[in-house]
């Protein structure tokens, strides 16, 4: 066994044995040759991709073609819809560029900064500064950022599950290859970079982990499905409308073209996709200001839909730091000797975890200056202990283990009663024990002599209690899943007010069968002694019961569960591995940010459902009007300018404000079904009312200018009907929503009473009888709308009520 001194002695006496890494000159030569890890950070689409995605759309092509037709036949006011599309597209590009800048900035903050050894000195650098042949140091939780070959290995265990799917860590030795995308579970080492840039596997993983994307979203998929239906409806309806209008208006082909375009244009819900993208993008910007990096846009929506959030205690409910509050001597051990052993153990580990760091703070290295470290065993979450072979000043060499008492002590040992009592107080307890075996021997933990209980107190996050209360109020069930002692975890959760914390479950007694495990998980709130593989199994068991599961964590033992959860949330100070697989990274390490993420997701989902109803109501009544016109063989009642005016006042402007407004409605599934359930009857009622008013006007008006008068009456009715739909969608009312509806009414009145605007929009109400009849038809339609809306809402409530989880 190779003898090794503590960390300070290594630096002083064996620097020559440690590889110094590349020299500055060698680094410069490699940079000049382009052998640099120059993969750009891709936190979003490129500017070209953003412009292309917003401009080159199916509906922009349709609207653009219709706009060109209007430019030929004129007048320009019938082509206003084209300028609206240009403005909407520009807004979409601008908002996504803002989101891109935010994401790029945040991605740089959350970027991995590996420790590289150059000229014999270790320093953190950005991943893009790594060159071929660099010597990169590794410690617990570090991600392997480029491919390489190990030059040094000290008990190094690497998890390659992200590459191979195998959950068990792999013990690595000097000379072994390491692949980018894997991460360190235990031990330490250093490797030489053999592949950098786009040749390394990390380039592909990083691209996928941090890409700005809109996939796997119920909202996005639902809107795509709706747009597909709209396209299929548009084609035959538009063909029939074209034939009809050229037949009716055979004496004036320009008027036929204008009326045809007026019928086709409103069928396109062009603003719906734009507003969805804008709502998501603004959500990213808002969360970015709270130091929350959203690596995939649907994560905002996804977290709003979760009904179970699994929390890792350490780093989530508690802060990373701990304090050693006492030592309980066992079997007559000498306290001063125990403190020296703890000091030596602390000095032997160059990468201490939070527990060992608390020991180091309480037992400084000076206490064991004359002790030597012969060999070390790094902490592993699978073993639940660490160890070292230490030589005392008198030459005595012995193995020492520091870890979980219930793992190192046999069941029924007298010391376990004291451990349970301390755990009941929410304290964390480690056992220091002596062994005659090599600590690396798996049998070392079976033959120990207990020396002392090391009592640690975890620092609770001040915001954790309020966050748990928020989740309880929102009917999101919190499950604390930890590798620590179950009783201790329950005590911590109890201090934070988590319901069910007084009944913690030891995961070692959980049934292995998925359904049985799921039943226990549904009933419990706190689970201790959970292994990394069990965390993954628990997430799968909860999902098998229909739950949408979010998993939070910061340690390497959380990675597998984060990968499998519907939404993975990592702390910014967590390991590189957890940040790589999580969809959401809390860069400021504040668990209290999660309620804002949930609220932002609910805002997006609720508001897009609102505005989708407005847009699709327009699509439905446009298709209905086109069919009625074809059947009756009469001119289409509207010119493009009329529908542009109505769409702007009752859909475009209000939808923009409604999409960005606060909204705390609980997210519900079946987006498409719920939207179509509201918009279809609303569109049918609006279209029917407008057509009836149009027929009444056609019966009343004769002579030249009759068509303009008929169109004005139909426009008035349709505006009032759409305004009624807007008033329903805007509920519950707030002062600004009332003002919004009032301003839209005022805008329409201004058009009706100002002569230049009357001429521009070809709107003039003639006489009193028909306009008031149009108002009466709209009022009757409004009553039918209210009745239909109430019926749909009761049905919707009746369907969703049984599925709602019980309030805790």
The DSSP code for 613 is H
Report the candidate in 450, 430, 341 with the shortest Cα–Cα distance to residue 384. Answer: 430
Measured N-to-C along each axis, helices 594-632 and 298-305 cross at an angle, to the nearest 10 degrees, of: 100
Report the candidate in 489, 579, 568 with the shortest Cα–Cα distance to residue 205. Answer: 579
For 246, 258, 614, the CA distances from 238, given in Å and listed in that order, are 12, 13, 21
Q: Which residues contact 266 (CB under 8 A, 6 or more apart)?
A: 618, 619, 621, 622, 643, 647
Question: Residues of 760-784 as b/e, b for ≥16 C-beta within 10 angstroms?
Answer: bbbbebbeeebbebbeebbeebbeb
For 59, 154, 244, 549, 686, the CA distances from 240, given in Å and listed in that order, are 20, 77, 6, 49, 21
Which phi and psi (to 5°) does residue 504 adopt?
-70, 155
Q: Which residues pair with 478 in a beta bridge?
A: 309
Q: How far apart are alpha carbons 644 and 407 in whole angstroms?
A: 73
For 383, 443, 446, 622, 787, the CA distances from 402, given in Å and listed in that order, are 11, 15, 13, 74, 71
Using DSSP bridges, classify how beta strands 318-329 and 372-380 pair: parallel, antiparallel or unpaired: unpaired
Residue 394 buriedness (CB in 10 A; 0-12 / 13-18 / 19+): exposed
Report the candidate in 708, 691, 680, 686 with the shortest Cα–Cα distance to residue 629. Answer: 691
Contact 409, 430 (CB under 8 A): no
Angle at 184 between CA 182 and CA 188, to 5 degrees: 135
Q: How far apart are alpha carbons 464 and 482 in whole angstroms?
A: 16
The DSSP code for 36 is B
Measured N-to-C along each axis, helices 594-632 and 270-288 cross at an angle, to the nearest 10 degrees, of: 170
Helices assigned H by DSSP within 633-670: 640-647, 653-659
Contact 557, 483 (CB under 8 A): yes
Q: Which residues pair with 570 in a beta bridge?
A: 553, 585
Q: How far apart are alpha carbons 609 and 613 in whole angstroms?
A: 6
Contact 589, 579 (CB under 8 A): no
Q: Which residues pair with 434 in a beta bridge?
A: 400, 449
Which phi and psi (to 5°) does residue 494 adopt?
-65, -40
Task: Report the catalytic residues.
Answer: 312
Q: How far apart are alpha carbons 578 and 105 in whole angstroms?
A: 20
Per-state percent for the chain, helix, strand, coil, to nearest 5: 55, 15, 25
Question: Residues of 365-375 as b/e, b for ≥16 C-beta within 10 angstroms?
Answer: eebbeebbbbb
Q: Which residues contact 57 (CB under 8 A, 6 or more apart)?
A: 273
Report the candidate in 656, 581, 642 with the shortest Cα–Cα distance to residue 275. Answer: 656
Helices assigned H by DSSP within 701-768: 706-729, 735-753, 755-761
| DSSP collapsed to 3 states, 323-377 | EEEEEEECCCCCHHHHHHHHHHHHHHCCCCCHHHHHHHHHCCHHHHCCCEEEEEE
Q: How far apart are alpha carbons 491 and 485 in whole angstroms?
A: 10
Helices assigned H by DSSP within 80-120: 80-109
Residues counted in the chain: 808
């Amino acid at each position: 066994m190779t003898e090794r001194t503590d960390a300070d002695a290594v630096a002083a006496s064996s620097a020559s044995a440690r590889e110094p890494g590349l020299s500055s000159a060698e680094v410069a030569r490699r940079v000049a040759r382009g052998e640099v890890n120059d993969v750009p950070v891709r936190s979003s689409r490129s500017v070209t991709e953003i412009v292309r995605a917003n401009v080159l759309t199916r509906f922009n092509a349709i609207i653009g073609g219709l706009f060109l037709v209007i430019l030929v036949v004129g007048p320009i006011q019938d082509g206003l819809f084209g300028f609206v599309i240009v403005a909407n597209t520009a807004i979409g590009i601008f908002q996504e560029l803002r989101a891109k800048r935010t994401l790029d900035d945040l991605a740089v903050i959350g970027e991995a900064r590996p420790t590289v050894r150059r000229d014999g000195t270790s320093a953190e650098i950005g991943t893009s500064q790594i060159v071929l042949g660099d010597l990169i140091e590794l410690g617990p939780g570090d991600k392997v950022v480029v491919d390489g070959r190990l030059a040094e290995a000290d008990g190094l265990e690497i998890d390659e599950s992200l590459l191979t799917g195998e959950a068990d860590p792999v013990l690595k030795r000097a000379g072994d290859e390491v692949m980018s995308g894997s991460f360190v579970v235990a031990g330490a080492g250093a490797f030489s970079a053999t592949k950098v840039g786009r040749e390394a596997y990390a380039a592909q993983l990083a691209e996928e982990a941090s890409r700005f994307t809109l996939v796997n979203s119920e909202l996005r998929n639902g809107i795509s499905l709706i747009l597909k239906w709209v396209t299929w409806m548009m084609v035959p309806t538009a063909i029939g409308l074209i034939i009809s209008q050229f037949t009716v208006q055979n004496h004036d082909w320009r008027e036929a073209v204008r009326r045809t375009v007026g019928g086709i244009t409103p069928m396109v819900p062009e603003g719906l996709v734009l507003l969805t993208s804008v709502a998501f993008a603004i959500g990213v910007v808002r969360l970015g200001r709270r130091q929350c990096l959203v690596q995939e846009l649907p994560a905002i929506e996804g977290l709003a839909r979760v009904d179970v959030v699994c929390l890792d205690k350490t780093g989530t409910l508690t802060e990373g730091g701990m304090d050693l509050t006492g030592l309980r001597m066992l079997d007559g051990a000498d306290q001063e000797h125990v403190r020296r052993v703890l000091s030596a153990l602390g000095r032997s580990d160059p990468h201490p975890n939070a527990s060992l760091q608390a020991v180091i703070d309480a037992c400084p290295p000076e206490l064991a200056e004359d002790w030597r470290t012969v060999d070390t065993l790094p902490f592993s979450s699978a073993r639940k202990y660490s160890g070292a072979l230490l030589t005392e000043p008198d030459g005595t060499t012995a193995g020492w283990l520091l870890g979980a008492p219930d793992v190192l002590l046999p069941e029924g040992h007298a010391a376990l009663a004291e451990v349970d009592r301390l755990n009941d107080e929410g304290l964390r307890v480690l056992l220091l024990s002596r062994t005659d075996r090599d600590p690396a021997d798996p049998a070392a933990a079976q033959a120990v002599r207990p020396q002392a209980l090391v009592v640690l107190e975890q620092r609770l996050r001040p915001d954790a209690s309020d966050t748990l209360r928020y989740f309880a109020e929102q009917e999101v069930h919190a499950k604390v899943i930890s590798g620590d002692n179950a009783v201790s975890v329950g005590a911590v959760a109890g201090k934070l007010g988590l319901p069910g914390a007084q009944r913690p479950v030891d995961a070692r007694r959980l049934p292995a069968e998925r359904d049985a495990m799921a039943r226990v998980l549904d009933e419990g709130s706190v689970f201790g002694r959970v292994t990394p593989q069990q965390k993954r199994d628990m997430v799968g068991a909860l999902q098998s019961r229909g739950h949408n599961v979010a998993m939070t964590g910061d340690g390497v033992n959380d990675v597998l569960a984060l990968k499998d959860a519907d939404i993975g949330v990592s702390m910014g100070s967590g390991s590189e591995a957890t940040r790589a697989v999580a969809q959401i990274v809390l860069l400021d390490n504040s668990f209290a940010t999660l309620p804002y993420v949930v609220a932002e997701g609910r805002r997006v989902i609720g508001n897009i459902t609102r505005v989708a109803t407005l847009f699709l109501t327009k699509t439905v009544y446009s298709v209905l009007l086109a069919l009625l016109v074809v059947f009756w063989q009469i001119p289409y009642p509207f010119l493009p300018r009329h529908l542009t005016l109505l769409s702007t006042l009752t859909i475009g402007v209000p939808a923009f404000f409604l999409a960005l407004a606060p909204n705390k409605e609980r997210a519900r599934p079946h987006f498409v079904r719920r939207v179509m359930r509201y918009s279809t009857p609303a569109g049918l009622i609006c279209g029917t009312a407008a057509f009836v008013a149009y027929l009444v006007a056609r019966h009343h008006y004769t002579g030249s200018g009759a068509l303009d008068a008929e169109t004005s009456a139909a426009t008035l009715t349709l505006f009032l009907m759409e305004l009624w739909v807007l008033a329903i969608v805007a509920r519950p009312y707030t002062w600004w929503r009332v003002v919004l509806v009032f301003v839209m009414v005022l805008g329409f009145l201004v058009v009706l009473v100002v002569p230049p605007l009357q001429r521009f929009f070809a709107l003039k109400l003639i006489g009193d009888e028909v306009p008031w009849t149009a108002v009466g038809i709209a009022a009757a339609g409004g009553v039918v709308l209210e009745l239909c809306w109430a019926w749909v809402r009761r049905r919707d409530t009746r369907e969703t009520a049984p599925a709602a989880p019980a309030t805790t």
